[in-house]
Amino acid sequence: MHKQNFSIESEGKPTDLIFGEFTTYEDIRKRLGHQKRDVHYLKIDIENMEWSVLPQLVKGGHLDRVSQLAIEVHTMDIIKAPPEKILPMLQSYWQILESLKQLGFLRANHRFNTVLETTFHDREQNRSISTCMEILYIKRGFNRRLHMQHHLPPPEVPL
């Protein structure tokens, strides 16, 4: 268990600093005694922290033994970002998702999460755009025995 100060956004405004505890994926696996087991299905729903956690999971080799990965991704930061920062933000998100492809993960399914708080309203075009999506990845050719024989270095992902 790790303790940390953090702030979350509520109704478009950051909250005061909150002191909280969080557990890492590695800590959970240790607590369950699953360090050497394959993971058939891993669900990540960590409310916009996926963009900082996914690169660490990739670089640390924590997804090597995962055969299916479900992630809820959030891009609502772009709603309030200055126009010149939107494209670099989206490019960094894309690069992180592309790093999953380098590990052998293929997108099998996706669906927009249309929760009202994560919807961007484009008044000029009179439409709503979801900034939250559920994505399911399946690892191509996942074979534990082969994987353990041919361990490849993780792809380069910026932290």
Q: Which SS3 state, helix, strand or coil, does residue 100 take?
A: helix
**Lowest-confidence region among 13-17, 26-30, 57-61, 100-104:** 13-17
- Residues 50, 126 within the same domain: yes
Q: In this predicted structure, what is the pLDDT of residue 149? A: 47
- Give the containing element (helix H, strand E) for 72: strand 68-74
**Per residue in 76-110, pLDDT tens?**
888 778 889 888 988 999 999 999 999 999 999 99
- Residues 47, 25 within the same domain: no
Contact 47, 8 (CB under 8 A): yes
The answer to whether residue 83 sits within a structural domain is yes
The structure tokens 């484009």 sit at 122
Contact 141, 150 (CB under 8 A): no
- Residues 102, 62 within the same domain: yes
- Residues 99, 117 within the same domain: yes
The answer to whether residue 105 sits within a structural domain is yes
Count of domains for the chain? 2
CA distance 47 to 50: 7
126: left (phi over 0), alpha (psi -120 to 50) or beta: left
Confirm whether pTM is higher than 0.85: no
Residue at 82: amino acid letter: P
- Residue span of the structural domain in which 5 resides: 1-36
- Residues 8, 55 within the same domain: no
**Per residue in 43-83, pLDDT tens?**
999 888 899 899 999 999 999 999 999 999 988 888 778 88
- Residues 22, 79 within the same domain: no
